[in-house]
Amino acid sequence: MAIIEFVGVNKWFDKLHVLRDVDLSIERGEVVVVIGPSGSGKSTLIRCVNRLETVQDGQVIVDGQHVEDPRTDIRRVRQEVGMVFQQFNLYPHKTVMQNITMAPIRVKKMPRAEAEKRAHELLERVGIGEKHDAYPGQLSGGQQQRVAIARALAMSPKILLFDEPTSALDPEMIKEVLDVMKDLAHTGITMVVVTHEMGFAREVANRVIFMDAGRIIEVGSPEHFFQAPEQDRTKLFLSKIL
Amino acid sequence: MRWSVLTDNLDILLQGLLVTLQVSVLAWLLAVAIGVVVALLRVTRSRAARFLGTAYVEFVRNVPLLVLIFFLFFALPDIGITLSGFWAGVIGLGVYTGAFIGEVLRSGILGVPRGQLEAALSSGLTYLQAMRLVILPQAIRTTIPPLGNQTINLIKNSSLTAAVSVFDILGTANLIGSRTFAFTPVYIGAAMLYLVLTIPAAIGVNAVERRLRIGYR
């Protein structure tokens, strides 16, 4: 069964129609990359998964729970869905360790010692084991984003959402973040990644989704996408960025 | 001029200083509590809550403090609530300053990037947890200087309690002045005693601001 399902989803920002009749089904363990020009609705799409945005029409079903239904306890869904943001959004007044352990301690009521032990493991995994006492402001952008990934993983989510995770990084730091994401892609976690990194899409995506003007224009394997896209708009977009 | 009135009455002047300090501390605690609530009301999505917060701020800010204090002291007995001058002063000051602190905190909260709330909520925290653990600690850092100003205003405004027969610094000065007619030394002395409170408060605010900045980008 699909772990994320969009059924006939429409969304408007005032009069602006930002998601148009979106139908999408993402399987457990899939790595899906969403591409498209800016303003095409790709960030909005993934922000609907954990109800950072609400939809006005249609259904968003995440691990069997109807996110669009106001009666759904969204916090239960959010515990299953980690999110990594373009601007990292680490808590600047908390150390790296506190950033990672806050949700496990406060939401899952995990004992502090256990949460910290797990945080150390996660920091090792993202390659910055020694930085646990630093404040975010003392880290480079790439390091901050890796902490943000560790923070998202600390809740042991089933799904990870990435909203342009490398767009705010200096070029030399993009690789270190993408490497961490590639490692994650092989762990069986479901990943939905909004990005402009076509190399990443080609290498690790199971499926690529191309969006334009709020619509899903084309869905397919990376091979399909980068070798034989069907839609003219997809071809036009790819010709501009590749 | 008989400066000796100050030394002769030092004991009751210091007693007045203590009363000013008590009124100020209690009113400050009330003001911060009200301010946090008002600020949260004004940043939530609920239209009714925002209206309530805005109505409170606009009403209280635009009524003279002395009117509030007189109302609490002279009018509330009509409905069976009798407050001493001390408590009328504390509550009046707290209610009044709370509106200003609410505005300061609101702008502090709005100054925290939106992504902070999104990160906190998306990790599964409740809205109130996100506010308490993530947003307010950051908002307070940027609002320390204006909060300090409000605190100093509160200390100075506490002199209005003299009008409801509280023997704070000003009330005591009025008393000594009317007994001795040595108004010049008495009110200069009163001003000095207020400075004894407000200048350390200003220095304290700067120290807190510096300390909170450490480890913070």
pLDDT at B209: 83
Q: CB–CB of A83 and B119 under 8 A? A: yes
The correct answer on CATH 1.10.3720.10 for the domain covering B4-216 is yes
- Among partner residues B126, B133, B217, which is closest to A75 by beta-carbon distance? B126
Tens digit of pLDDT for each residue in B199-208? 999 999 888 8
Q: How far is A8 from chain B (nearest CA, A)?
A: 24
B111 touches chain A (CB under 8 A): no
Question: B149-181 in b/e burial notation, b at 16+ Cβ within 10 A?
Answer: ebbbbbbebbbbbbbbebbbbbbbbbbbbeeee
* A186 conformational bin, left if phi > 0, alpha if psi -120 to 50, beta if neither: alpha
Q: Which B residues in the span 149-208 are in contact with A, Cβ-Cβ below 8 Å?
A: none
Could you tell me if B167 and B175 are in contact, meaning their C-beta atoms sit under 8 angstroms apart?
yes
Domains of chain B by residue range:
4-216
The CA-atom distances, in angstroms, between A16 and each of A13, A19, B96 are 5, 9, 43
Task: Enumerate the β-bridge partners of residue A62.
Answer: A4, A65
Span B123-177, pLDDT tens digits = 999 999 999 999 999 988 889 999 999 999 999 999 999 999 999 999 999 999 9
What are the b/e assignments for B94-120, b being 16+ CB within 10 Å? Answer: bbbbbbbbbbbbbbbbeebeebbbbbb
Residues of chain B with pLDDT > 70: what percent? 98
Q: How far apart are CA A155 and CA A4, in angstroms?
A: 18
- What DSSP designation does A146 have? H
Residue B59: φ, ψ to 5°: -65, -55
- Give start and end residues of each alpha helix (H) in chain A: 42-47, 74-80, 96-106, 112-125, 141-153, 171-185, 198-204, 222-227, 232-241
Q: What is the ipTM score, two decimals?
A: 0.94
What is the DSSP secondary-structure string of chain B? --THHHHHTHHHHHHHHHHHHHHHHHHHHHHHHHHHHHHHHHHSS-HHHHHHHHHHHHHHHTS-HHHHHHIIIIIGGGGT----HHHHHHHHHHHHHHHHHHHHHHHHHHHS-HHHHHHHHHTT--HHHHIIIIIHHHHHHHHHHHHHHHHHHHHHHGGGGGGGT--SHHHHHHHHHHHH--HHHHHHHHHHHHHHHHHHHHHHHHHHHHHHHTT--
User: Which letter does DSSP use for residue A39 in this model?
Assistant: T
Q: Which helix (H) or strand (E) holds A68?
A: none
> What are the pLDDT digits (tens) for B78-136?
999 999 999 999 999 999 999 999 999 999 999 999 999 999 999 999 999 999 999 99
DSSP A49-60: TTTSS--SEEEE
For residue B113, the chain A residue with the least C-alpha distance is: A89
Confidence label for B217 from pLDDT (cuts 50, 70 and 90): very low
Our measurement of the distance from residue A40's CA atom to the centroid of its chain's CA atoms, rounded to an integer in Å, reads 16
Structure token digits, residue A170: 């200096």
Q: For the whole model, what pTM was predicted?
A: 0.82
CA distance A219 to A200: 16
Asked if B29 has any chain A CB less than 8 Å from its own CB, the reply is no
* CB within 8 Å of chain B, chain A residues 60-119: 75, 78-79, 81-83, 85, 87, 89-93, 95, 102-103, 106-108
Q: Which residues of chain A have pLDDT under 70?
A: none
SS3 state of residue A116: helix
DSSP type of residue A92: T
Chain A residues with CB under 8 Å of B111 CB are: none
* Cβ–Cβ gap A91/B116 under 8 Å: yes
Residue indicated by tokens 């003007």? A213
Q: How far apart are CA B213 and CA A66, in angstroms?
A: 43
From chain A, pick out residues whose CB is under 8 angstroms from the CB of B115: 85, 87, 89
What span, in angstroms and rounded, lies between the C-alpha atoms of B97 and B154?
A: 7
pLDDT digits (tens, 9 = 90+) for B26-72: 999 999 999 999 999 999 888 999 999 999 999 999 999 999 999 99
Query: Does the beta carbon of B15 lie under 8 angstroms from any beta carbon of chain A?
Result: no
Decide if B119 touches A, using CB distance below 8 A: yes
Cβ atoms of B26 and B205 closer than 8 Å: no
What does residue A41 show for φ and ψ, rounded to 5 degrees? 100, 5
What pLDDT is recorded for position B216? Answer: 55
> Pick from B115, B116, B125: which is nearest to A103 by CB?
B125
pLDDT given for residue B34 in this prediction: 97
Q: Which residues of chain B neighbour A67 with C-beta distances below 8 Å?
A: none
Confidence (pLDDT) at B214:
56
If phi > 0 it is left, if psi is from -120 to 50 it is alpha, else beta; for residue A27 that is beta
